[in-house]
Amino acid sequence: MITFIVSILILIGGYFIYSKVVEKIFGIDDHRATPAYTKNDGLDYMPMNWVKATLIQLLNIAGLGPIFGAILGALYGPVAFIWIVIGCLFAGAVHDYFSGMLSVKHGGEQYPSLVGRYLGKHVKSIINLISLILMILVAAAFTAGPAQLVEQLTPLSYTASLLFIFVYFVLAAVLPINKLIGRIYPIFGLILIIMAVSIGFALFFMDYSIPNITLENLHPKELPLWPLLMVTISCGAISGFHSTQSPILARTLKKESEGRKVFFGAMIAEGIIALIWAAAGMTFFGGTEGLQGALAEGGAAGVVNEISKTTLGQFGGILAVLGVIILPITTGDTALRSSRMMLVELLGRYGKTNYRFKTAFMTIPVIIPTYLLTQMDYSFLWRYVGWTNQVVATVMLWTAAMYLLQHAKFHWICSIPALFMTAVTSSYIFYAPEGFHLSYELSMIYGSIIFLAVLGWFIYQIYTYKNKSISLENAA
C-alpha cells in the first residue's frame, strides 16, 4: 500500500517540479503568437481553453491504454509500479511535451514533419509509413473490441455496430475540432478520471492489500521482465501514439505556457490512472496467479468489468460499460483524425485543392484499411500495435534530443530516455513472437549491437555540433 501511495505522490510532485525544468530547457515565449491564431482555419486551428484542451488530450492519449496495458503489466507484480513512475515522469511526459511544443514551434506540424526537420528526410519517409500504419492499427484495435461489446449488449450485429462506429469516425475526423471533439470529449475525459479515482478509493477497502515494492518478477508464465514490461505498459509510461495526438491540441493552445499543463500534465494524469489499474489488477484477484486466471477467462475487458461491478456496484457497472465502449472509440477516432492530418500535410504540396475538400477526401484512404482490419482477430492486431508504438516513441525522443543538441540546450533529458527506449525496441523485436522469435540470449545480443550502433551515431552528432559551436564562436 505504501508503494502505491508514494508512487502517486512522486508523479504529482514530478509534475510541479520536473515539468518546470523541462519547460525551462525547451524555452517558451508567451509573446509569440501560437498556430491557433496565426493559422486559424475554423477546422483544426482554433484557440481553446487549456482546461478543455487538457481533458481532450487525456482522452486522446489514454482511452483504454492505461487500463488494459496496466492490468496486463500487473502480471509482473509490484515492479510494474517502478516502470510506470520512472517511465511516465522521465520518458513519457517529456516525450509528450516535446511532441506538442515542437509542433507549436513549427506551426502545428505533424509528427512525421517534425522528425524530418531534425532527423532528415530519409527517416521522415520511413516514419510517415510507420506512423500511418500505427494509426490504422490503433483505430482498428480500438474499434473491434467496442463493436463486439455493443453486439452483446444490444440487438445490433457486429457489422451493424462497426458501421455505426465508422459513421461517427468520419464525423469526428472531418468536423471542426470545436463542434464534436471540443464539446463531448471533456465530458468523457471526466468519466475516465472519475472511473479511475473511484477504483483508487475502493482499493483501500479490498480484502487484499496492495503489495509493496519488490524487484522480483512474479509473472505466472515466467515471461522475462526486460523488455516485455516496457512494451506491455506503454500508455501510462511512454507511448508513441501520443506524439501523433499532441499536434491536434498544439493547434489549439492560446499561449506556449499552456503546453506544460496540456501535454506534461495529461501524461502525468495518465500515469496515475495506470498506477490505479495496475494496483487493482495485482490486488483484486489475490495475486498475479489469480489475475492470470481472470484474464484467461474474460480478457482485460472482463477484468475491468468484474473489478468495477464488485467494488462500485451498479455505478461501477455503468462506468465499466461506458469505459470499455466509449473510451476506445474516442481513441480510434482521433487516431484517424491525426492520420488524416498527416496525409493532408504530406500531400499538401500537390495542387491547390480546396482544403476542406482535401480533408474529407483524405479520410477515405485511412477509413477503408481500418475497417478491413477490424475483421481480423483483436489479439493479433494488438500484438503489432505494441512494438510499432514504442518505435514511434523512440524516434520522437531522438527528434527532441536532436532539437536540443542543435540549439545547444541540455539534451540529456531526451537523449537518455531515447537510448533506453532504443534498447527496449531493438531487443524486443528479436525476441517477441510477432518479431523474429529468437532465443532470449540471441535477442539480447542483437539488440545490444543495434543499441551500440545508435549510441555511436549520437556520440558522433554530439561531436559534430560541438565543433560547429566552437567554429561559430571563433568566427565571432
Domains identified in the chain, total number: 1
307 φ, ψ (degrees, to nearest 5): -65, -45
Residue 427 resides in a domain: no
On whether the CB atoms of residues 474 and 458 are closer than 8 A, the answer is no
Does 357 score more than 70 pLDDT?
Answer: no
CA distance 190 to 198: 12
Decide: residue 405, CB within 10 A, 0-12 exposed, 13-18 middle, 19+ buried: buried
Lowest model confidence (mean pLDDT) among 13-22, 253-262, 298-307: 298-307
Residue 73 resides in a domain: yes
One DSSP character per residue, 357-397 reads HHHHHTTHHHHHHHHHHTTS-HHHHHHHHHHHHHHHHHHHH
Residue 26 resides in a domain: yes
For the chain, percent of residues with pLDDT exceeding 90: 49
- The average pLDDT across 200-212 equals 83
- The average pLDDT across 189-198 equals 82
The amino acid at 383? R
**pLDDT, averaged across the chain:** 86
Q: Residue 254: how many CB atoms within 10 A of its CB?
A: 16
Residue 158's domain comprises 2-394
Which pLDDT does position 52 carry in this prediction? 92
Residue 423 resides in a domain: no
* ∠ Cα 88 299 329 (to 5°): 65
Non-local CB neighbours of 115 within 8 Å, separated by 6+ positions: 123, 124, 127, 395, 396, 399
Which pLDDT does position 350 carry in this prediction? 44
Residue 467 resides in a domain: no
319 confidence band (pLDDT: 50, 70, 90): confident
Query: Between 50 and 363, where is the model more confident?
Result: 50
Which pLDDT does position 188 carry in this prediction? 80
Nearest residue to 118 (alpha-carbon basis) of 395, 469, 452, 464: 395
Q: Residue 456: how many CB atoms within 10 A of its CB?
A: 10
224 confidence band (pLDDT: 50, 70, 90): very high
Does 378 score more than 70 pLDDT?
Answer: no
Task: Give the domain CATH number at 328.
Answer: 1.20.1740.10
Residue 431 resides in a domain: no
- The average pLDDT across 350-359 equals 52
Task: Tell me the pLDDT tens digit for each residue of 159-183.
Answer: 888 888 878 777 777 777 777 777 8
351 confidence band (pLDDT: 50, 70, 90): very low
CA distance 48 to 416: 33
Query: Between 339 and 45, where is the model more confident?
Result: 45
Does 361 score more than 90 pLDDT?
Answer: no
One DSSP character per residue, 160-182 reads HHHHHHHHHHHHHHHS-TTTTHH
Residue 443 resides in a domain: no
Q: Give Cα 452 to chain centroid, integer Å.
A: 26
349 confidence band (pLDDT: 50, 70, 90): very low
- The average pLDDT across 368-394 equals 76
With b for 16 or more beta-carbon neighbours within 10 A and e for fewer, the 153-184 pattern comes to eeeeeeeebbeebbeebbebbbeebeebbbee
Does 476 score more than 60 pLDDT?
Answer: no
CA distance 26 to 462: 18
Residue 447 resides in a domain: no
- The average pLDDT across 249-277 equals 96
On whether the CB atoms of residues 388 and 133 are closer than 8 A, the answer is yes
Which pLDDT does position 376 carry in this prediction? 66
User: What percent of the chain is helix, strand and coil (3-state, nearest 5)?
Assistant: 75, 0, 25
Non-local CB neighbours of 245 within 8 Å, separated by 6+ positions: 57, 60, 61, 334, 335, 338
Which of 308-312, 341-345, 410-414 is most confident?
410-414
Confidence (pTM): 0.89
Task: Tell me the pLDDT tens digit for each residue of 322-333.
Answer: 766 777 777 777
Task: Tell me the pLDDT tens digit for each residue of 400-429.
Answer: 999 999 999 999 999 999 999 999 999 999
- The average pLDDT across 74-86 equals 96
